[in-house]
Amino acid sequence: MKEKAEGDQLAGEANSAEFTDAFTGEQNECEKEKETSDQFIRGLTQTINQLELELSARKNEILKLQEENRHLKKVRFGFKKVKKSNSTVKFFTGLPTLGVFLWVVSLIRDKVKKCSMALSVEDHTLIVLMKLKLGLMNKDIAFRYGCIESMISKVFRKWLPGLSMALRNLIV
């Protein structure tokens, strides 16, 4: 019986050793997995931090562009600025009132196509009348409107004949 007890004890110790080895192996695997997970989480955290910095930079860039856009809308020359008073309309176009200017626009509106989607029909008409009345160069008008010289030239070349046809009964 003593031998059996010693055998059971040896078997128990062997089972205990196997269990300890298995437990230690699983514990090592868990630690490796935890380290891998921790590395992955650190990588994700670093990526999130970089993306947050980039997002912040883009938000600042958007704010600057919005401010620049607001400024450009205020500074830009055009019909919206000229229409504020009859004296301004008369100075730039030679026409006595805003009402007369709008009447001329209504006569030409359907006779000529717009050359630029960025410019209104009123701006197209204003460009032609300013060039005729003030003798401004294309570069000056282009600078005022924030566009290229060739656009002003194109507006003048296409709209002058249309304006002439629309107003020919008034020309003496």
Rounded mean pLDDT of 15-25? Answer: 66
Measured between alpha carbons, how far is 85 from 158 in angstroms, rounded to an integer? 28
**Confidence at 66, pLDDT banded by 50, 70, 90:** confident
In this structure, the chain runs to a length of: 172
* The pLDDT value given to residue 103: 95
At 18 the three-state DSSP class reads helix
Question: Can you give the pLDDT at residue 100?
Answer: 96
Q: Is the pLDDT of residue 123 over 70?
A: yes
SS3 of 131-171: the string is HHHHCCCHHHHHHHHCCCHHHHHHHHHHHHHHHHHHHCCCC
d(CA 122, CA 130): 12
Please give the share of the chain, as a percent, with pLDDT higher than 70.
84
- Amino acid found at 42: R
Closest by CA to 170, choosing from 122, 100, 111, 112, is: 100
Q: Which amino acid is at 166?
A: A
**pLDDT one-digit tens code per residue, 70-121:** 766 665 789 999 999 999 999 999 999 999 999 999 999 988 889 888 899 9
> In this predicted model, what pLDDT tens digit does every residue of 147-158 receive, in sequence order?
899 999 999 999
Contact 90, 96 (CB under 8 A): yes
Position 170 confidence tier, pLDDT thresholds 50, 70, 90: confident
End-to-end CA distance of the chain: 140
More confident residue, 113 or 20: 113
Report the chain's mean pLDDT, rounded to a whole number: 86
Q: What is the rounded distance in angstroms from the CA atom of residue 2 to the CA atom of residue 158?
A: 119
